[in-house]
Structure 1
Amino acid sequence: MFKTTLSKGIFVPSMVFIVLVSVVSVLYPEIADKILNLIKNFIFVNLNWVYVWAVTLFVIFLIYLLFSKYGKIRLGDNNSRPEHSFFSWIAMLFSAGMGIGLMYFGVAEPMQHYASEVFGLNTYVNKAKNAQLYTFFHWGIHAWAIYGLVGLSLSYFAYRLKMPLSLRSCFYPLLKDKTNGVWGNVIDVFALCSTFFGITTTLGFGVVQINSGLQILNIVPDTSFVYQVMIVGILVGLAILSALTGVNKGIKILSNINVIMVVSLLLFVLILGPTVFLIGSFTEGLGNYINNFFNLTFGTHVYDKETLPWFYDWTILYWAWWISWSPYVGLFIAKISKGRTIREFILAVLVIPSLFNFIWMTVFGNSAIWFDMNVGNGSLSALSGNPDALMFRFLEYLPFSTVASFMTILIVIIFFVTSADSGIFVMNSIATKNANKSPKWQTVLWGTLLAVLALLLLNAGGLKALQSMTLITALPFSVIMLLFIVSLLKGLSIDQSYYDRNFSKATAPWSGNLWKERLKRIVATKDRDSIDLFINTLVKEAFTELQTEFAENGITAHINYEKDPCKIELEIKYDVINNFNYGVATTAKSVANYLIVEQNLPDIKVKGSYFPRAYFGDTRESYDVQYFTKNELISDVLKHYDRFLDIVSEERNEMFISSDSHDPAE
């Protein structure tokens, strides 16, 4: 029997729905596409305002958090630090979020806007400016605000409040313990299906572009299904191998490599293309985007009916597409963002990828437009309806076009693999309720399902139907994301008051009666043995006296002790609320070189020092207690106990102090 970490309540209904939709799309592609397209069009025409308002609120909310007092809150314990370097972090979130899309639409979207007559603009200059403006709009801050909201919500509740890295956790302030039941499963099933459909359709279109590029370079004779099977088999196999190595190895390494290659290709086109024109058009385009930011944000084209079909097919479709992808991208961003502050997270997720997208779209899109106007006599705009080949035809106008085309294919391949492997990782995480270690066969299962269904849909022509299904799911999920805002605001407001809560005014500060003894401790040797001795004598005696006195008052206090590293803890256990903990542990810290040779500090002989660190069973900042007397340490414990009783008496603090706030399996 196979060992598995899959949750039946999530995996089984998800597979039933995924298989059912896929079978219908494969067996009856035209009927499925027609029905789903009708539903999608109805939503886009009659409910497009939901997408407009939702995305607008996402942007406003994140900008508010960026400048608010909540920005300093860390996604994890107060003393936690990021697990990945800044470069690797940006590389991974970028590869998962926009990868294949940039390669596919880098030339295609600006050229399609430029070739369109929808706005009735009769000058090439106005067409080019609007092509750049709307491309910036669709690939800029609004798109990343969608991903950022989901990623931030997941990171906060998972790392700050120690809940499972799951969409259900984002509803805890609203649903409380119901997140562990049926409602929680429904949320995760929705996320899993949306992720699976989004990745499948994107990978299907990615295979078509790779196949088209290989044909143009005469590596394969045509774009038949046989070659698509070979491409999918090789690339999904690589994705499975990468996913098996985990985030810290395969995914990180491939993402870092790809960012370097992408920047190299970008510089290649910038230097060998119309460089002066590109720098000037980027500058003007950025200013145009900033000047029109609010008009674009709130625009619904309601007064210009001729542009409405374009509005539905581009802006609303993009908002729906990004929203449908947000469970997958948000989960992956959250997985790699532990330890960042909220301000750092928002700045990085909103600004850096958006700015890079603007540069990319300018260099590739505006280069194509420039060649089309000045060299190609409209040949590229004539190909605007064939985005699969447009990138490669554009590169033919540059020197070393064959080398650039090979590099483009390689980048698309790596983006394909990074999207697939991070998708496999995220889907397994959802289906297992974020289990720590899953058997390898589950990773193989997800990769195989992606490959098989993508190929079946490619062969039967059912990808468009599945894409429509994905876009339809974006409507309910946009409402879910609005609830994320409510939930996150509630959590952050409680978080702020929880950590800012002062001790009782009745507690007394240190006195100066024992200043001579404290001075001796300040300059004394602080090696590990001396701190261990401090804990085994003074701290242990203080806790023992407290234990006895608590017992006199009908309260059972336990003393937990560990020898290596030396640690002692006073614990009072409860059934419903979290236990009260006050512990002291020997902790290392570095000492500056100049202190080692300082003659006035003769006891510091080596680079390295230790101190007794007090901790409290939650994520509050710990501190040094080495200068406390026994009675002062007892007083400090009672301060925290008084604070603990004060906090647990308030109902609104339930998610911080309730033992039932976390998944029982965690």
Structure 2
Amino acid sequence: MSRFVINAPVFFGSAAIIAVFVGIGTLVPGQAEALFTAMQAGILSRFGWLYLLAVAIFLFSMIFLVFGRYGDLKLGPDDSEPDFPFLSWMAMLFAAGMGIGLMYFAVGEPMTHFALPPEAEPLSVAAQRQAMSVTFFHWGIHAWAVYAVVGLSLAYFGHRYNLPLTIRSGLYPILKERINGPIGHAVDIFAICGTLFGLATSLGFGVLQINAGLNYLLGVPVSIYVQILLVIVVTAIATISAITGVERGVRILSEINLSVAVLLMLFVLSVGPTTILMRDFVQNIGLYLDTLMLRTFNIYAYEPRPWIDKWTLFYWAWWISWSPFVGMFIARISRGRTVREFVAAVLFIPAGFTFFWMTVFGNTAMYVDMTVANGALAREVQADLSVALFQFFQYLPLPALTSTLTVALVAIFFVTSADSGSLVIDTIAAGGRTDTHPLQRVFWCALGGAVAAVLLAAGGLSALQSATISTALPFSLVMLALVWSLFQGMNADVALSRTLLNGASQAHPASGVPWQKRLALVLSAPDEKDIERFLEKSALPALKAVADELGRRSLNAVVERDAETGAVSLTVPAQGVRDFIYGVRTSEHKLPAFTAFEAMNMGLRYEAHTFFSDGSRGYDIMGMSQEQIINDVLVQFERYLGLVKSTETALLVTAPEH
């Protein structure tokens, strides 16, 4: 049964910081807008360069992992297999790229840059090219590199090191056990604050667009009161989802939403200038690649202009704030993938879809504006970005239907974002636990809605953007530390793999088992009860014997048995390095088939499979005697100590000589 589970310093610390922002917006709404605006201007003028440089580091670090020696490491033990087939996994990454932002900016951003480009002549062919290259830049692989850093950190240290799915776990190679102290608490607080304000910003965009759509369809006035009411209604729906646990219904809605969004894009593609759009798509990719390096580092240092603050730096801060949300999703679905698979897919699959989406809507909108609209669409978008998509649909067939679908799509994205975002925040606030009480998710869901409503009332989108930029600043420093920590951890794992490879000439662990017994085990296919008896009668006593001997030598060692899985493990805690763990658990595999009939009816083979703290590949020890298991534990412990020595670290306590 779920219960209240919180990490008190993180829960109350983040709630207090968020309450300060909400309190300012509620108590002094008139002064809040000026305060938030001044805060945003001060941060960007002093630290704008840091956002740009940090995202560049994230991108090049991820690209290095694709081509470097760490790419073959698994997100999980070396013998782990992916939880999902490749095509299903790609589809889920594709879904991760969809959201309120793509609906809000699909027409609005290209048209804004077309009318007010950073460098080109407004409303010119050069402005068209620049509009699409800038839009691609903001929504391309830089954004997904930010998500990849957090996602890879969570996946690597969560699935391979068996650490909780919290941001602090990614700093384990740097901080070791100190991740459970004040520094770790601060890291998770920054993650929660950034995620919640990033969520509030997305909800703010969604509310503005829903309000604009209802105004177009039903004449509902565009006002702050309507927008706050929409926040309350949609947050209430997300809260009901959190209380009742109707995740299956929300998931079905999400899948339908994704399908309808793709159909909407295909509709625009078919009724728009299809051939021109396909030609533009190819050209846009070329423009994006041609300007990629310059835009990565271009902060307009020699010719300052507010455009960079309003667009690029805001986007980078938004992606950084939003990264724990997207990162946790892609980490959860990526166990068993290699680092190379993960990074390459995360960088290019969602970005590729986003590029096509922006081309279909953005280039069609510019084509319409330069032909039938005669500049009217650009003027409408400049006046109010939230109405861009609805004004655009007026120039296409079935505008009432497409506008209605858009409102419904944004509303569902709103609900699923609020519900899922509250789950991510609750997981971090609970120290990585997911079996928490539903009321905890309700709290974070309601708080996210309250933040969106208060900041909208206090200053509209500018207040939301200011809060996002402010909270993203400390988290960008955390992410830089995550990158360094990832390379530290991967380097240690590669060093361990080489140590094991150098020792590969040693006899196989099972070589001590007589060959007749090994053959009998192969042919008899032990069942699950056989493995349970082996763990109870042989493995557990052997581990206890080793633990007792280590204890006599002043080394703390703990033997545990998992009540649910029956797995047994010996742990020797260490300081400055990963603990030594030798564990044995039940694993199952398909039996080999020698005929077509057997292939149709084959059962399962069970093994007593070892596992270790470093995620290295385990093996079957079924059939070993207690003495043989003890010897195998000592072989692994000797290798562990050799790695400790080679990396110039030490155990918490060194055994005395006897």
CA distance in structure 1 between the partners assigned to 2:127 and 2:63 by the alignment = 31
Distance 1:484 1:246, change over 3 A: farther
CA distance in structure 1 between the partners assigned to 2:72 and 2:618 by the alignment = 17
CA distance in structure 1 between the partners assigned to 2:547 and 2:226 by the alignment = 78
Q: How does 1:70-89 map to 2 (within 5 A)?
A: 70-83=70-83
Q: Give the structure 2 partner of residue 607 of structure 1.
A: 602
Distance 1:505 1:300, change over 3 A: closer
CA distance in structure 1 between the partners assigned to 2:427 and 2:558 by the alignment = 37
Q: How does 1:44-443 map to 2 (within 5 A)?
A: 44-83=44-83, 99-116=99-116, 118-121=118-121, 124-218=124-218, 220-244=219-243, 249-250=248-249, 252-305=251-304, 308-385=305-382, 386-443=384-441
CA distance in structure 1 between the partners assigned to 2:544 and 2:140 by the alignment = 58
Q: Give the structure 2 partner of residue 18 of structure 1.
A: 18
| Cα contact 2:542–2:627 (8 A) shared by 1 | no
Shifted more, 362-371 versus 170-179: the winner is 170-179
CA distance in structure 2 between the partners assigned to 1:528 and 1:564 by the alignment = 18
CA distance in structure 2 between the partners assigned to 1:322 and 1:566 by the alignment = 42
Residue 429 of structure 1 deviates from its aligned partner by 1.5
Which amino acid in structure 1 is aligned with residue 445 of structure 2?
G
Residue 609 of structure 1 deviates from its aligned partner by 4.4
Shifted more, 349-358 versus 33-42: the winner is 33-42
Residue 456 of structure 1 deviates from its aligned partner by 3.4
Q: Give the structure 2 partner of residue 621 of structure 1.
A: 617
| Cα contact 1:243–1:421 (8 A) shared by 2 | yes
| Cα contact 1:201–1:466 (8 A) shared by 2 | yes
Kindly provide the CA deviation profile for residues 422-479 of structure 1, in whole angstroms up to 9, marking residues without a partner as x: 1111121122212232112222222222333433333444552242132123233322
| Cα contact 1:584–1:612 (8 A) shared by 2 | no
CA distance in structure 2 between the partners assigned to 1:246 and 1:658 by the alignment = 44
Kindly provide the CA deviation profile for residues 546-594 of structure 1, in whole angstroms up to 9, marking residues without a partner as x: 9599869967999989999997x68476687988665666643213544
Q: Give the structure 2 partner of residue 451 of structure 1.
A: 449
Kindly provide the CA deviation profile for residues 338-372 of structure 1, in whole angstroms up to 9, marking residues without a partner as x: 33322222122110111111111100010010011
Which amino acid in structure 2 is aligned with residue 203 of structure 1?
L
Kindly provide the CA deviation profile for residues 477-500 of structure 1, in whole angstroms up to 9, marking residues without a partner as x: 322221211111111101222233
Distance 1:213 1:454, change over 3 A: same
Distance 1:501 1:27, change over 3 A: same
| Cα contact 2:560–2:570 (8 A) shared by 1 | yes
CA distance in structure 2 between the partners assigned to 1:309 and 1:564 by the alignment = 58
| Cα contact 1:25–1:462 (8 A) shared by 2 | no
Count of aligned pairs between the two proteins: 646
Which amino acid in structure 2 is aligned with residue 293 of structure 1?
L
Pairing 1:485–2:483 present: yes
Distance 1:463 1:20, change over 3 A: farther
Q: Give the structure 2 partner of residue 662 of structure 1.
A: none
Distance 1:111 1:578, change over 3 A: closer
Which amino acid in structure 1 is aligned with residue 362 of structure 2?
G
CA distance in structure 2 between the partners assigned to 1:14 and 1:562 by the alignment = 33
SS at match of 1:501: helix
Distance 1:606 1:392, change over 3 A: closer
SS at match of 1:620: coil
SS at match of 1:32: helix
Residue 104 of structure 1 deviates from its aligned partner by 0.6
CA distance in structure 1 between the partners assigned to 2:182 and 2:135 by the alignment = 41
Compute the RMSD of aligned alpha carbons: 3.9
Residue 84 of structure 1 deviates from its aligned partner by 5.2
| Cα contact 2:569–2:581 (8 A) shared by 1 | yes
Distance 1:590 1:243, change over 3 A: same
Distance 1:591 1:209, change over 3 A: same
Residue 633 of structure 1 deviates from its aligned partner by 6.1
Kindly provide the CA deviation profile for residues 99-128 of structure 1, in whole angstroms up to 9, marking residues without a partner as x: 111111100000011111642427722111
**Runs of 5+ unmatched residues, structure 1:** 599-603, 660-666
SS at match of 2:99: helix
Q: Give the structure 2 partner of residue 601 of structure 1.
A: none
| Cα contact 1:147–1:329 (8 A) shared by 2 | yes
CA distance in structure 2 between the partners assigned to 1:494 and 1:611 by the alignment = 32
CA distance in structure 2 between the partners assigned to 1:6 and 1:541 by the alignment = 36
Residue 206 of structure 1 deviates from its aligned partner by 1.2
Residue 379 of structure 1 deviates from its aligned partner by 0.8
SS at match of 2:306: helix
Distance 1:237 1:337, change over 3 A: farther
Distance 1:99 1:85, change over 3 A: farther
Residue 595 of structure 1 deviates from its aligned partner by 4.0
Distance 1:575 1:629, change over 3 A: closer
CA distance in structure 2 between the partners assigned to 1:542 and 1:446 by the alignment = 43
Q: Give the structure 1 partner of residue 656 of structure 2.
A: none
SS at match of 1:292: helix
Shifted more, 188-197 versus 405-414: the winner is 188-197
CA distance in structure 2 between the partners assigned to 1:461 and 1:483 by the alignment = 33
Residue 320 of structure 1 deviates from its aligned partner by 2.2
CA distance in structure 1 between the partners assigned to 2:177 and 2:559 by the alignment = 31
| Cα contact 1:521–1:627 (8 A) shared by 2 | no
Larger C-alpha radius of gyration, 1 or 2? 1
Which amino acid in structure 1 is aligned with residue 126 of structure 2?
N
CA distance in structure 1 between the partners assigned to 2:497 and 2:272 by the alignment = 55
SS at match of 2:616: coil
SS at match of 2:308: helix
CA distance in structure 2 between the partners assigned to 1:3 and 1:585 by the alignment = 28
CA distance in structure 2 between the partners assigned to 1:514 and 1:596 by the alignment = 32
CA distance in structure 1 between the partners assigned to 2:318 and 2:475 by the alignment = 11
Kindly provide the CA deviation profile for residues 188-213 of structure 1, in whole angstroms up to 9, marking residues without a partner as x: 22222222222223212311210110
Residue 298 of structure 1 deviates from its aligned partner by 2.4
Distance 1:520 1:202, change over 3 A: closer
CA distance in structure 2 between the partners assigned to 1:348 and 1:68 by the alignment = 16
CA distance in structure 1 between the partners assigned to 2:532 and 2:165 by the alignment = 40
Residue 136 of structure 1 deviates from its aligned partner by 0.4
Taking structure 2 as the reference length, the TM-score comes to 0.86
| Cα contact 2:120–2:130 (8 A) shared by 1 | no
Which amino acid in structure 1 is aligned with residue 308 of structure 2?
F
Shifted more, 409-418 versus 181-190: the winner is 181-190
CA distance in structure 2 between the partners assigned to 1:560 and 1:200 by the alignment = 43
SS at match of 2:74: coil
Distance 1:540 1:513, change over 3 A: closer
Distance 1:327 1:616, change over 3 A: closer
Q: How does 1:640-651 map to 2 (within 5 A)?
A: 640-649=636-645
